[in-house]
C-alpha cells in the first residue's frame, strides 16, 4: 500500500491514516501547497484528502479541479472556525471537521468511494469473483485488491473485454506493447504466466491457452 506521509504529520493524522490503511484505502494527504505536486496521474490513489486550514484558497481550488478531471474524489478537512465561510462551490466530494475521528473519516471515505465508483459502474468488467474497473485501473479478486503491473493490467483488460475471443501472441504483442516492440512473443507468455499467478488457482481459471495460437479469456456466460 502506497500513501503520502508528511514529515510534520502529527499523532492524530497518523491514527486515522493508519485506520484507512487497514481498510486498504490508498490516500494522498495534502497539507501544504507543495504537496499538490505529489499527484501522479499514472499512479492515482483511491482518494485525496486536503487540509483547507493550511492550503491557500487558489491552490486548493486548482488542485480540486485537477482531481475532478482525473475522476479522483476529494474530501476536505475543515477546522471549526472555517465552517461559516466554507465555499460549497469548491467541488469537493465531501468534507469533515478537523481534527477528524478515525471511525468517522473511514466511514466518510467509504461512502465517497462507493458513490464515485457507482457512477462509473457501467464500465466495470465482472467475471466470477474477478472485478476489473477501467475507470480506476483497479482489479479485485474475491473482494481483495490485486496489485498488477501496468502491462499485466492492460493485458487482462483486453482479454476480459472480449471473453471467448482467441488472441494470437502476435496480436497481443502489437496491441499491448506496440508494433515497434522487439521483445518477441515470449514476452506475452511471461506476462500471462505472471498474471495467472496473481488471479488464478486450480479451481478458478480465467485465461485459457489455445495451443500453437495464443490465449482467450474464459467466457463465464457459457459456464453459468
**Which pLDDT value is given to residue 5?**
41
Rounded-to-integer distance, Cα 108 and Cα 122, Å: 23
Distance of alpha carbon 174 from alpha carbon 187, whole angstroms: 11
Mean predicted confidence (pLDDT) in 139-155: 88
C-beta separation of 12 from 35 below 8 A: no
Residue 25 neighbours by CB distance under 10 Å: 20
98 falls within a domain: yes
In this prediction, residues 110-129 reach a mean pLDDT of 75
pTM of the model: 0.52
What is d(CA 188, CA 159) in angstroms, rounded to the nearest whole number? 12
Q: What is the pLDDT of residue 191?
A: 93
pLDDT, averaged across the chain: 84
Which residue range forms the structural domain that includes residue 154?
123-222
Residue-wise pLDDT tens digits, 55-81: 888 899 899 998 888 888 999 999 999
Same domain? For 135 and 162 the reply is yes
Verify that 106 and 160 share a domain, yes or no: no
179 and 110 in one domain? no
Residue 183: which CATH number?
Answer: 1.10.10.10
Based on the domain organization, do 185 and 102 belong to the same domain?
no
Helix 186-199 crosses helix 150-161 at what angle (to 10 degrees)?
A: 80
Q: Which of 20-34, 130-144, 203-217 has the highest mean pLDDT?
A: 203-217
Per-residue confidence band for 105, with pLDDT thresholds at 50, 70 and 90: very high
**Is residue 120 over pLDDT 60?**
no
Q: How many domains does the chain have?
A: 2
Res 183 pLDDT > 90:
no
190 with 157, same domain: the answer is yes
CA 32, CA 55: separation in Å to the nearest integer?
6
Residue 98 has pLDDT above 60, yes or no: yes
The enclosing domain of 22 has a CATH number of: 3.40.50.2300
Amino acid at each position: 500500500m502506497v500513501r503520502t506521509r508528511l514529515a510534520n504529520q502529527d499523532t492524530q493524522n497518523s491514527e486515522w491514516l493508519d485506520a484507512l490503511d487497514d481498510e486498504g484505502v490508498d490516500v494522498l494527504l495534502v497539507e501544504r501547497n507543495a504537496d499538490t505536486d505529489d499527484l501522479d496521474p499514472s499512479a492515482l490513489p483511491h482518494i485525496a484528502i486536503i487540509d483547507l486550514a493550511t492550503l491557500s484558497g487558489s491552490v486548493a481550488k486548482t488542485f480540486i479541479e485537477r482531481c475532478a478531471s482525473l475522476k479522483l474524489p476529494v474530501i476536505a478537512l475543515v477546522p471549526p472556525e472555517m465552517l461559516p465561510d466554507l465555499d460549497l462551490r469548491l467541488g469537493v466530494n465531501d468534507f469533515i471537521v478537523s481534527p477528524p475521528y478515525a471511525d468517522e473519516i473511514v466511514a466518510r471515505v467509504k461512502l465517497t468511494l462507493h458513490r464515485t465508483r457507482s457512477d462509473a459502474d457501467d464500465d466495470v468488467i465482472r467475471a466470477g469473483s474477478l472485478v476489473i474497473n477501467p475507470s480506476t485501473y483497479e482489479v479485485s479478486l474475491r473482494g481483495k485488491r490485486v496489485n498488477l503491473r501496468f502491462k499485466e493490467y492492460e493485458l487482462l483488460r483486453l482479454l476480459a473485454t472480449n471473453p471467448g475471443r482467441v488472441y494470437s501472441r502476435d496480436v497481443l504483442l502489437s496491441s499491448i506493447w506496440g508494433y515497434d516492440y522487439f521483445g518477441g512473443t515470449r514476452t506475452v507468455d511471461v506476462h500471462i504466466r505472471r498474471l495467472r499467478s496473481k488471479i488464478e488457482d486450480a479451481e478458478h481459471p480465467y485465461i485459457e491457452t489455445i495451443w500453437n495460437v495464443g490465449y482467450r479469456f474464459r467466457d463465464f456466460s457459457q459456464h453459468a
